[in-house]
Chains A and B, each alone.
Chain A
């Protein structure tokens, strides 16, 4: 799992952890997985696989799965470039969830969340994430994590039950922290191992290894913008871990010679209009500063600037504090001037002008909206604005 922050308290696993400064070494006491591996049907691993096969069956036919051919073809091709002989054992799925996460299950199911694709600027950055996940798979990390967390859960329940009285709540919280900290320690070793292996895989495939640290720099910047780094949390402060991770990845990338045959960058072509729908999901999250940081970065790096400017306008228009309306209008205008403006940017200008009472200016932009999107399904509404009613 690559997620850098918890989506539920129990999942706070990946990067957090109290100070574990011991050098990363192979943390795995299991043999690496072989190509075409299947678990012994009597083992607990077989139970896990069956459960995951059910999850996968649901995921394959889930309405939340993104089925667009170009992006699915691309991730499948990338998995094969990265995993070589293991390619037939790995099955990537693109899932519509607006959060930065990817997972690789022990049965070979890889889930790539749309919020992660939105944050990848290049194919190399996506390769960094996929390489990392394939690293977890090869080292069989999630099986170990599952076994370990089960023991920890059992421990925590006893711990909590025996405590009664006024201090119980406090101590119960502490016992949860201890459980989580141990899980975090455990998984930080895994993350380090998967980082190193993932970087090797992607660089071997011709991708730019500097991309591995870049993606974490993006996340660190978003965390900082969202105020995450200001939170004091002894066990789970994610910030130093991200910094350390970036340093490690930078160092590993420096040691790689330049690729003999650089890999192509097909991400933006494969995502196409999907990226805008991911932006729409992103602004629905209701995070202002974090999303503003993300969209501003996309605009700066020229990643679909038309879409990013429009959605940045939407973000400010929705917040509606003093001055936000002007910023929204500016972003819509800028979006209209890009090479590939979303039709909605013209409507956005019209909307703001209309509510300001600048009727004629508004109508000009509503007309431009209809010229760009003559079959828009809100055409009747727009024509009502134009008709002078």
Chain B
């Protein structure tokens, strides 16, 4: 059903659609010594949900599982294509001494990422003391990640995507006919960071502007979303 849904949604809200990412970086290329820098790929934090007509959001297992698989594949392909040396993160045991710090890094990244979105993306909301410099960090605790996986950088990816149920698409349609009460369709948002594991500094950050396209339930579309997200990642 949902290819059709999305078509209708895209048609109704064409003004908002359009691919758009915005990225910031502090380095253009990863410094290469004798060996290529190793990137630790954190497990993508992704959820695909269905938006019911009533507005409640329900995560859909099949979609999320598929998208998780597709995203991992797409990231792997992308990193292979750019010939990066990388390793995938393996969670520590619940009782490992560093488990608590490693557990805290994922939510800390999400909070730092949201702060970057809130305070760097719109020039009028920037924090004036930063003087327009892109300067964000997770701090030296990331060295635990470096030790855990023997890596130089960590790649964090966070995506939330929702799709309208048929009832909601119908509601959007009715709303548009009746003179435009905006009823939001399914929206994709995402952000990713490359973090220097010696300092914790975010050396590159990219965010998808909320958009109503990009079906991550399919590998091909996930590849496109991944390309938007990772395309300008320093190599």
Contacts and interface: CB of A to CB of B under 8 A. Distances in A.
A contacting B, Cβ–Cβ less than 8 Å? yes
A60 B59 CA distance: 20
Given A158-B171, A161-B171, A161-B175, A50 B61 contact: yes
A366 interface: no
Interface in B46-77: 47, 52-56, 58-62, 64-65
Interface SS of A by simple majority: helix
B94 interface: yes
B52 A50 contact: no
Contact of B53 (A42, A50, A54, A154): A154
Interface string B103-126: 100000000000000000000000
B52 A153 contact: yes
A209 to B, nearest CB: 37
B56 A47 contact: no
Interface SS of B by simple majority: mixed
Contacts of B58: 47, 51, 150
Contacts of B65: 50
Contact of A161 (B59, B62, B181): B181
A280 interface: no
B54 to A, nearest CB: 3
Interface in A176-199: none
Interface residues of B, number: 24
A41 B52 CA distance: 21
Nearest to B181: A161
B27 interface: no
B59 A46 contact: no
Interface string B161-183: 00001011001001100000101
Contacts of B60: 47
A366 B207 CA distance: 57
Contact of B56 (A41, A48, A150): A150
B62 A154 contact: no
A158 B178 CA distance: 13
Interface string A151-174: 011111110010000000000000
Q: Which of B52, B94, B168 has the most CB of A within 10 A?
A: B52
Interface of B: 47, 52-56, 58-62, 64-65, 94, 99, 103, 165, 167-168, 171, 174-175, 181, 183
Given A50-B64, A156-B54, A157-B168, 16 more contacts: A46-B61, A46-B62, A47-B58, A47-B59, A47-B60, A47-B62, A48-B61, A50-B61, A51-B61, A61-B99, A61-B103, A154-B53, A154-B167, A158-B53, A158-B167, A158-B171
